[in-house]
Amino acid sequence: MVDYKFYDNYGNMARITERMVLPYENAKQRKKAYVLSLYAMYDNGMMYHLSMYDNLDDVMRKLEMFSNGTFKARNA
């Protein structure tokens, strides 16, 4: 199970989690998805972005687009 946390230079945290989701209404089978959520830690952890991707490469490319590319992995 994927559960990564990243922090940027501006007081934000990003989290990438692996989930099993229904890809559409009435789907018979769940599929693996990667969820990217971004939080403003300086504002009581308010979530300001949520998106979902089919693979880890795509979600990592999207993460690089936020906060001038300053998000870095850190043990939390």
32-75 pLDDT, tens digit each: 999 999 999 999 999 999 999 999 999 999 999 999 999 999 76
Instruction: State how far the Cα of 26 lies from the Cα of 38, in Å rounded to an integer.
Output: 29
The whole-number pLDDT of residue 1 equals: 81
- Encoded tokens for 24: 């559409």
Burial level of 67, CB count in 10 A (0-12/13-18/19+)? Answer: middle
Neighbours of 4 (CB within 10 A): 18
* pLDDT at residue number 75: 61
HSE toward the beta carbon, residue 64, CA cutoff 13 A? 6
Q: Which one, of 52, 74, 61, lies nearest residue 5 by Cα?
A: 74
